[in-house]
Amino acid sequence: MQVGTGKSILNGIAIGKLKIYKKKDTTISAAAVTDTEAEIQRFEKAQAKAIEQQTALYEKALAEAGEDIAEVFNIHAMMLEDDDFVDAIKEIINGQKKCAEYAVKTAGDNQAAVFAAMDDPYLQARSADVEDIAQCMLDILQGVDTDSLQGTEPSILVAEDLAPSETVRLDKSLLLGFITREGSSNSHTAILARSMNIPALIQCKEISPEWDGKMAVVDGYNACVYVDPTPDLLESLQKRQQEDRKKQALLQELKGKTNTTLDGTTINVFANIGGMGDVGAVQQNDGGGVGLFRTEFVYLNCKDYPTEDYQFEAYKQVVESLAPKKVVIRTCDIGADKTVDYMKLDKEDNPALGYRAIRICLTRKDFFKTQLRALLRASAFGNVSIMFPMIISLRELRDAKATLEECREELIAEGKAVGKVEVGTMIETPAAVLIADDLAEECDFFSIGTNDLTQYTCALDRQNAKLEPFFNPHHPAVLKAIQMTIEAGHRHGIWVGICGELGADPALTEVFLRMGVDELSVNAKSILPLRKIIRSVDLSK
């Protein structure tokens, strides 16, 4: 038996034969070509087909993993049309008289190197996206059949690395799990694996070509793979796998039941979504509503500012589909690690502390009003609450509310239907925590964004992989800030929820219940596991 170790992507067990996922070796000629116009045409055809593929991958990922995850393929399609990237390819073809394959590979490598050299870890990770889209075009140009690489029987794939497009293309009925030598736990591929419930091990340096065809077990709980496991070990891990499946089946029995503790305390368990593509998962997992609708994905999907009517239809579709359940919609949180070219935001040395979210909205009033008008119009079709992100002062909250009221009056004057909405704010900075009593007087609810609250409280950039050893999601200062916020909200008679990643942390569920939290908003797949924990807690003890 051989044991390989790495980083686990998902707590789970995968058992089956290993299959080496090896891409075909293809040679790219560096020789000069005579007909550069023909090469330009070959490139443009490959570019068009690659864009079609990314659109198809978006639809596939949307169905399998939700809108947040699928969005990467919309970004890939936009990258394929990026003027700088396209111009660089054409210049190599025309200027150096090289074939389309050589130009795509060279321009892709150069652009990937630019991203890899950046200081921002989020932008560094985009290097893999450039490599992915360049490889897609190369496969098309060289006639590589990527679908044939997986094989025809269920297996655990072994590869140097997997790109997001490769992961989505894989036939999930044949994919038991995967192991890669490279990769990051924050990569799009890793996120896809978690969303699709695929046990995976990354950064496994022991990978060997000799593994091909051998029986193995990926043990996500212990972050290792056993190749040719002993009979006793195999039997033990098979039992663990069966136990996991029984637990998943039992969770389904919780559908339709309340989120009520043994002593009779009931809280709401809502879902975080990015758009209409996530609504099915909310319904399938019996979510009580939506606690965080991230509207920035509406902007990321567009090549120019989305119109009021476009936004209205996007919000109305979600609100109407889930009515009468509550849908808490966060206004645009563009900035920091989420940017769009058409907004022409300046490059900042420290974007996490920069021009983002409500700061953009309050200084670009027309931009802000377009969204608020769309949200108010959508509120006539369901149960809508609106919350503002990154509020750090009472003035900001009052300005945002005044703009909302201005939009309401305009719409009523125009004879357009508007519903009644709750208005709240995100609590995601120490400043907001410390003035929570003042903010609560102006709000109907608070929603605690624990991702940013942890980052700003602990002065740790959550995009910086080097800081992982210093990151403690259970830091007592963060938990105290959450407690203070809940108490301040309740002093003023408003409900308080948590919509950051800590809301789905099972180790903290009882802690939050004892703090008195009214709502937890999590990814849809965490709803039933949380319900199970809530129903087992007795707060009277």
Q: Token pair 């890793």 is at which residue?
A: 190
Beta bridge partners of 219: 13, 224
Is 490 annotated as catalytic? no
What one-character-per-residue DSSP string does 491-525 give?
HTT-EEEE-SGGGG-TTTHHHHHHHT--EEEE-GG
Q: Which tokens belong to 414?
A: 């125009």
> Cα 100 to chain center, whole Å?
34
Distance CA(205)–CA(202), nearest Å, equals 9
Counting DSSP H helices and E strands in the chain, the numbers are 20, 16
Distance CA(21)–CA(363), nearest Å, equals 51
**Type of residue at 278:** D
Task: Choose among 526, 513, 497, 67: nearest CA to 291.
Answer: 497
Q: Which tokens belong to 317?
A: 């579709």
Q: Which tokens belong to 448?
A: 């605690």
Is 499 annotated as catalytic? yes
From 76, 188, 361, 407, active-site residue? 188
The three-state DSSP-derived secondary structure of 300-312 is HCCCCCCCHHHHH
Beta bridge partners of 8: 201
Task: Choose among 170, 106, 98, 93: nearest CA to 134.
Answer: 106
Q: Which tokens belong to 200?
A: 């995976």
From 361, 407, 443, 499, active-site residue? 499
CB neighbours of residue 341 within 10 Å: 11
Task: Choose among 256, 221, 258, 261: nearest CA to 241.
Answer: 221
Q: How many residues does the chain have?
A: 541
Alpha helix (H) ranges present in 97-186? 100-116, 121-142, 164-169
Instruction: Return the active site residues.
Output: 188, 499
